[in-house]
Amino acid sequence: MLALGKLLELTLAGREPTEKIQLTSGGVRLHWLGEGALDVTPPATEDSGLDLLLSAGVHGNETAPIELLDRLVQAIARGQLKPRARILFLLGNPEAMRRGERFVEQDINRLFNGRHAESSGFEAMRAGELERYAAAFFSKPERARLHYDLHTAIRGSKIEQFALYPYVDGREHSRLELARLRAAGIDAVLLQSKTGITFSSYTYAHLDAEAFTLELGKARPFGSNQEVNLDRLEARLHSLIEGREPEFDDGNLDGLQLFSVSREIIKHSDSFQLHLAPDIENFSELPVGYLLAEDIAGTRWVVEEEGARIIFPNPRVRNGLRAGILIVPADV
């Protein structure tokens, strides 16, 4: 296998490859751009016109998606997977990956869309670098642009695999992309209702990519992901990469549950209290009238929405950040 096929090994060891550019026997060019960043270019005659950004490890302890990208990179470097798409592989937070932690000083996935410029430290610098890699990759005109930012969640979930679809004022969510996610085994999509500060929000809002955060199961250490079944997603990624994606009907969203974000619960102070069991699962339903959280100066978060559910409840986030999302069923 070509040395650049060991992107994960190089990244975990903090090593730089001696050769930065390598060609597979099939003429696919691998280019190591920097720590955790690998650009893959198919031969011009084979190019399908798709630019595909695959990122993982934006949270360092979310290892199943990192292992998935590692399998893809290795298969390309061995010549077993023959790309017809341009691909950019990004491992988001190498230092947090080495430590097996979500982040070291601050959550990179709250530092996009310009937030990194108002902050300092290596994670802010890395968010800026990830934006620049993505912007350079998505700078070619007249190509399809798709970004999947792969994650796993802190807690268990009533719906195991789901996506978050970013929002930009005036831009419609694509039924075709929803159908593609369904075909990749995704069971639910959360339609955001304001532009966020995550990596997928950045590529969606600024780089005109179709972009999603994919939540693929529960976060576990490297080598302990037997319960995370990525078979359908992996098969779909293989077919997208090789330009042989099976036809799918963009009118058919059968079985895909759609939700819209009703409210983000923001933690304003150290007095914030979340009234949920520590082991509550994502997508748990909450009744109207339920006192969800309390904060400084008598602030109360009471459920008003019929059919409300909670995802990502986390009272330990920094002040000013979201401590949970209230969602409600939606249609497109």
Ligand X SMILES: O=C(O)CCC(=O)N[C@@H](CCC(=O)O)C(=O)O
Q: Does position 167 bind ligand X by CB under 6 A? A: no
Q: State yes or no: 59 annotated in a binding site.
A: yes
180 binds, among Zn ion, ligand X, none (CB under 5 to 8 A by kind): none
Q: Does position 151 bind Zn ion by CB under 5 A? A: yes
Sole window of 14-22, 58-66, 136-144, 289-297 interacting with Zn ion (rule: CB under 5 A): 58-66
- # residues near Zn ion by CB under 5 A: 3
Nearer Cβ to Zn ion, position 59 or 218? 59
CA-nearest of 217, 69, 208, 227 to 151 is 217
Nearer Cβ to ligand X, position 24 or 157? 157
Q: State yes or no: 147 annotated in a binding site.
A: no
CA 94 to chain centre: 15
CA distance 15 to 154: 29
Q: What angle do CA 266, 271, 275 make, to 5 degrees?
A: 70
CA distance 32 to 21: 6
CA 301 to chain centre: 28
Q: Does position 218 bind Zn ion by CB under 5 A? A: no
Q: Does position 63 bind ligand X by CB under 6 A? A: no
Question: Active-site residue 215, yes or no?
Answer: yes
What tokens appear for 90 in the block? 């990004």
Sole window of 46-54, 60-68, 184-192, 223-231 interacting with Zn ion (rule: CB under 5 A): 60-68
**Helix pair 231-241, 63-77: axis angle to 10 deg:** 40
Q: Does position 145 bind Zn ion by CB under 5 A? A: no
CA distance 86 to 65: 20
Contact with ligand X (CB under 6 A) among 164, 179, 191, 237: 164
Sole window of 6-14, 193-201, 203-211, 256-264 interacting with ligand X (rule: CB under 6 A): 193-201
Nearest-approach distance from CB 127 to Zn ion, in angstroms: 14
DSSP letter for each residue of 272-310:
-EE-S-TTPPBTEE--TT-EEEEEGGGEEEE--STT-EE
Active-site entry in 95, 123, 210, 215: 215
CA distance 165 to 175: 11
Half-sphere exposure of 216 (CA within 13 A, CB side): 30
Nearer Cβ to ligand X, position 2 or 164? 164
Q: State yes or no: 105 annotated in a binding site.
A: no
Q: Does position 109 bind ligand X by CB under 6 A? A: yes
Active site residues: 215
Residue numbers belonging to the annotated binding site for Zn(2+): 59, 62, 151
**Binding stretches for Zn ion (CB under 5 A):** 59, 62, 151
